Amino acid sequence: MERNVFSFILKYSYRQQIVLVLLAVVNMPFTMLGYTLVEKIVNEGIQGFRKVPEQVTQADGSVIEKSVKTSIEFPEAVFDIGPEFDQVIFLFVLVGLFLLNILLLQGIKYALNVYRGVTAERMLRRLRYALFQRILRFPKPTFKKTSQGEVISMVTGEVEPLGGFVGECFSLPVMQGGIMLMSLGYMLIADWKLALAAVALYPLQFYIIPKLQKRVNLLGKERVKRVRKLSEKIGETVTGIGEIHSHDTSNLELSTFSERLNGIYYIRLQIYIWKFIIKFVNNFIQQLGPVMFYSIGGYLVIKGELDLGTLFAAISAHKEIGAPWKELLGYYQRQADARIKYEQVVEQFAPAGLFEEERLMSEPESPVRFEGEIKASGVTLTDDQNNSILDSISFTLGLDQRVALVGGGGSGRDELAEVMARLLDPDRGTVNYGEHVLQNLPEAVTGRRISFVDNAPFIFNLTLGDNLFYGLKHRPLKEATYEGDRKKERDSYITEALASGNLEYDLGADWIDYGAAGVEDSVGLRRAGIDALKVVGLDEDVYQFGLRGRIDPEKRSDIAEGVLKVRRALDERLSDPSLAVLIERFDPAAYNSNASLAENLLFGTPVGDTFDLDHLAEHPFILEVLEKVGMTEQMVSMGYQAAATMVELFSDLPPDHELFQQFSFVSSDDLPELQGLLAQYTKDQLATMKPGERLTLMSLPFKLVQARHRLGIIDDDVKVKVLEARKAFADNLPEDLTGSVAFFDPDHYNAAANIQDNILFGKIAYGQAQAQERVGSLMREVMAELGIIETVSEVGLEFEVGIGGSRLTGAQRQKLALARAVVKRPDVLILTEATAALDTSSQARILDGLLTDFEGRSIIWGVHRPAMAERFDHVLVMKGGRIVESGSFEELSKEGTALSQLIAAEAA
């Protein structure tokens, strides 16, 4: 990357810079024309005279040239071209020209600014892209020294002002310098002495300002460093939030942060102060000009050696030059700032051992497969403190062998695995896969033929399926087709991307390498994905995700229909009385005693917050419906009863008692309020209550589930009324609320409910032993019969796993990473302690599954328990960075071997 911001700008935008400079140059004559026109308007147009140079013989006999005011005889031609006009028309023609000139000048400025913006933004995009690409090219050890926070702050914040500078880098000095030179030239022609007087002090500024600026530059550098440290601290806090809370170190963290802010504060303050010192000095010198004019010029006028008009002209010219001069000084400061920032960023992005770009980008001419033997010769690795990690390791293995790497901490086992996966480059020695030398291969080969999983794999913030198939997306394979406006958009995307040196690949295209997964299309791929999940034992979890997943029945009508089939098939099963008690299904004509009163009234799934089940009583339409079926008073009285029971049951329990949390449908905070209401009103005084109090009571019965709470409040009369209300609600629902509830309909899929609820179409009954499990297996049975279990799992693939896979458990993340490594069907699977964090039965299942799946392919598994090695074709035992034993498990498990010692140590 270019070391200097100017060479970076020139290299990638010299064409744009030429255009910008040209525009700035074109701008100048029009600016000058503007001055001329103004003078002409005032002198000739309004006052009707012009200055004509004349030879004047002075008293001492010498002849000098002097401009003399001469009246104009109108009519006169403007600029001596074209027809002649009398004075008024003459004036208007001049003003018209002036107006045209303004338009033209501002037009050029507009074009200049827009073009500047485009250039600046493209260069910023290019710079950020280049930096990000460099992050991808960092060798792995670099990340030990580079914090995430720092890198983010560099790529996002720090380079931002550089964009603005790119736009003005050359054009601004040309333009402002040009304007200044021209004004100066104009003055020189008019009166060279005064012109020189006006700029007499500029050399002083030239000398002093850079000296001062140097200080600001140094401070600026320091500020950038400190802000990076600040970002690092923020990043660290976010990552380590658990530790901070578990050790009560918030104060320590806040103080550390405050200390860093303090440092930044003082530096910023100093920068601020120095900037204003520069401004002060600058303005002071600038103002010295008029002082000299008034004193020396004034003196000369008094002496009669200078006429007053000339003095004024000089003062105004000085002002005229002042504006561009100021701009130039500002530019000088900005370029200093930009130069520092650029250098500081680029420095950080050029670590030793940066990958060649080809390693990431180049594509082999024909697909490569690893066949034959794995051969390591003299692989040596040392860490940054020169400790030996791997000590000239050599071995030969078949690419059809499943190999266990056994070794304790510090044996070099994990590092060897990483070298084999090309995540670390050895200092010396080579690794060959068949005829290929690992170190010469691009990632297009290593990343496809090798899978690597360690014990802390990363899961991306995507769906579960996107994570599973992540290793199949190397580049767009099937272009998406666009038409009309979409095509135009896509075309301009490509043009812009190329103009900024970015990759123009289409994210909307199909990136999946189906061939690599051994399938034809997306249907086959999902099957293959589920097979891979089975190998690692994640299939059941994904099935459960699927059950709790929602689908759009319009888009996935096949799934919706399948689910409805299961719903109907379940009906037949439920004719068996022993199963019938498990589920109470939704019946439009019956009250569901296992559902709350609110659910019974709504008889649908709320969409959004409008009909939130917890706050149903507050909705005016619900109140309207209750009023309509004449249930309002009854609800208040039911609320009174429920409140009385709750107060009776819970009032002498401490508020934090777990029974409260588990069973009460009134929170402990609300209990005193209810107690107050009960004390204030008797059962017969309900009508005299305030509306707010009535609402408080009314909200209680909505939460009652008859089968669960058994308070005897919901009797047959209430049920009939609720059914009436259910009908009234559905029939009279205002149009603007229709989208707020998805009604239960036996014949339709409910898009707002998840798949399980759609299948059940009812409530699991309270009070039946193991109802949840029995219903679960019943559903699974019916789905298996109808063959839609896989379909449900496919919906499970749509599960959003959250940032870093946070919505998955640790075990699920680990299994997902293993499945991701399996689904791309690599020639070599390299694992380090990849199942260490799982429970023993999962470990056994995965070991079994992977060894079977990779029969005839290569596995290199850094096992966390030496005894696991028994199942492998070959065992390598490592100690102190060397391979101490190599052979089959039978050979190595004899008495006295290192392996048997390790196994014994583990058992002890």
**Where does this chain bind another protein (CB under 8 A)?**
578, 581, 645, 648-650, 658-659, 662-663, 709-712, 766-769
Work out how close the CB of 842 gets to another protein at its nearest, in angstroms, rounded to a whole number.
22
Give 615 or 657: the residue with its C-beta nearer to another protein. Answer: 657
Helix (H, G, I), strand (E, B) or coil at 473: strand
* Radius of gyration (C-alpha) of the chain in whole angstroms: 41
Work out how close the CB of 592 gets to another protein at its nearest, in angstroms, rounded to a whole number.
18
Tracing tokens 């949390």 back to the chain, one arrives at 661
CA pair distance 3, 347, nearest whole angstrom: 8
Q: How far is CA 199 from CA 177, 183, 317, 325, in A?
A: 14, 11, 10, 10
Work out how close the CB of 770 gets to another protein at its nearest, in angstroms, rounded to a whole number.
8
Backbone angles phi and psi of 468, in degrees to 5: -65, -40
Give 576 or 587: the residue with its C-beta nearer to another protein. Answer: 576
Give 653 or 751: the residue with its C-beta nearer to another protein. Answer: 653
- In sequence order, what are the beta bridge partners of 450? 828
Q: What angle do CA 338, 266, 207 make, to 5 degrees?
A: 50
Is-contact 5 339, C-beta < 8 A? yes
Q: Which residues of 643-681 are buried (b: 16+ CB within 10 A; e: fewer)?
A: bbbbbeebeeeeeeeeebeeebbbebeebeebeebbeeb
Tokens linked to 382: 């040392």
**What is the DSSP code string of 565-605?**
HHHHHHHHHTTSHHHHTTEEE--TTS--TTSBHHHHHH-EE
Hey, CA dihedral for 170, 171, 176, 182, is it positive or negative? positive
Work out how close the CB of 663 gets to another protein at its nearest, in angstroms, rounded to a whole number.
5
Work out how close the CB of 816 gets to another protein at its nearest, in angstroms, rounded to a whole number.
31
Give 477 or 579: the residue with its C-beta nearer to another protein. Answer: 579
Tokens linked to 843: 């470990």
Work out how close the CB of 643 gets to another protein at its nearest, in angstroms, rounded to a whole number.
14
Work out how close the CB of 710 gets to another protein at its nearest, in angstroms, rounded to a whole number.
5
Give 351 or 776: the residue with its C-beta nearer to another protein. Answer: 776
Tracing tokens 């409530």 back to the chain, one arrives at 763
Work out how close the CB of 876 gets to another protein at its nearest, in angstroms, rounded to a whole number.
43
Tokens linked to 614: 């917890």
Give 219 or 582: the residue with its C-beta nearer to another protein. Answer: 582
CA pair distance 507, 480, nearest whole angstrom: 9
Work out how close the CB of 662 gets to another protein at its nearest, in angstroms, rounded to a whole number.
7
Give 60 or 658: the residue with its C-beta nearer to another protein. Answer: 658
CA pair distance 674, 647, nearest whole angstrom: 7
CA pair distance 467, 538, nearest whole angstrom: 13
Hey, CA dihedral for 432, 438, 440, 446, is it positive or negative? positive
Give 483 or 773: the residue with its C-beta nearer to another protein. Answer: 773
Work out how close the CB of 645 gets to another protein at its nearest, in angstroms, rounded to a whole number.
8
Give 27 or 706: the residue with its C-beta nearer to another protein. Answer: 706
Tokens linked to 874: 């070959």
Give 155 or 642: the residue with its C-beta nearer to another protein. Answer: 642
Give residue 453's identity as a one-letter amino acid code: V
> HSE-up of 677 (CA within 13 Å, CB side)?
30
Give 315 or 581: the residue with its C-beta nearer to another protein. Answer: 581
Work out how close the CB of 709 gets to another protein at its nearest, in angstroms, rounded to a whole number.
8
Work out how close the CB of 579 gets to another protein at its nearest, in angstroms, rounded to a whole number.
10
Kind and range of the H or E run holding 255: helix 250-292
Strands of 402-406's sheet in order across: 450-453, 828-832, 858-862, 402-406, 874-879, 882-887
CA pair distance 799, 806, nearest whole angstrom: 12
- In sequence order, what are the beta bridge partners of 832? 862
Give 499 or 771: the residue with its C-beta nearer to another protein. Answer: 771
Give 148 or 675: the residue with its C-beta nearer to another protein. Answer: 675
Kind and range of the H or E run holding 648: helix 632-650
Work out how close the CB of 647 gets to another protein at its nearest, in angstroms, rounded to a whole number.
10
Give 591 or 799: the residue with its C-beta nearer to another protein. Answer: 591
CA pair distance 450, 435, nearest whole angstrom: 15
Is-contact 591 722, C-beta < 8 A? yes
Cis peptide before 588 (omega within 30 of 0): no
Work out how close the CB of 583 gets to another protein at its nearest, in angstroms, rounded to a whole number.
14
Give 13 or 596: the residue with its C-beta nearer to another protein. Answer: 596
DSSP character at residue 294: I
CA pair distance 705, 853, nearest whole angstrom: 50
Residue 521 backbone class (left: φ over 0; alpha: ψ -120 to 50; beta: rest): beta
Work out how close the CB of 405 gets to another protein at its nearest, in angstroms, rounded to a whole number.
39
Work out how close the CB of 712 gets to another protein at its nearest, in angstroms, rounded to a whole number.
3
Angle between helices 87-137 and 160-168 (to 10 degrees): 140
Other beta carbons within 10 Å of 279: 15
Q: How far is CA 766 from CA 614, 708, 715, 758, in A?
A: 20, 6, 18, 19
Q: What angle do CA 607, 609, 611 make, to 5 degrees?
A: 75
Work out how close the CB of 772 gets to another protein at its nearest, in angstroms, rounded to a whole number.
12
Q: How far is CA 352 from CA 349, 502, 511, 784, in A?
A: 10, 24, 32, 57
Work out how close the CB of 863 gets to another protein at its nearest, in angstroms, rounded to a whole number.
32
Give 171 or 596: the residue with its C-beta nearer to another protein. Answer: 596
- In sequence order, what are the beta bridge partners of 452? 830
Q: How far is CA 149 from CA 130, 258, 446, in A?
A: 18, 17, 29
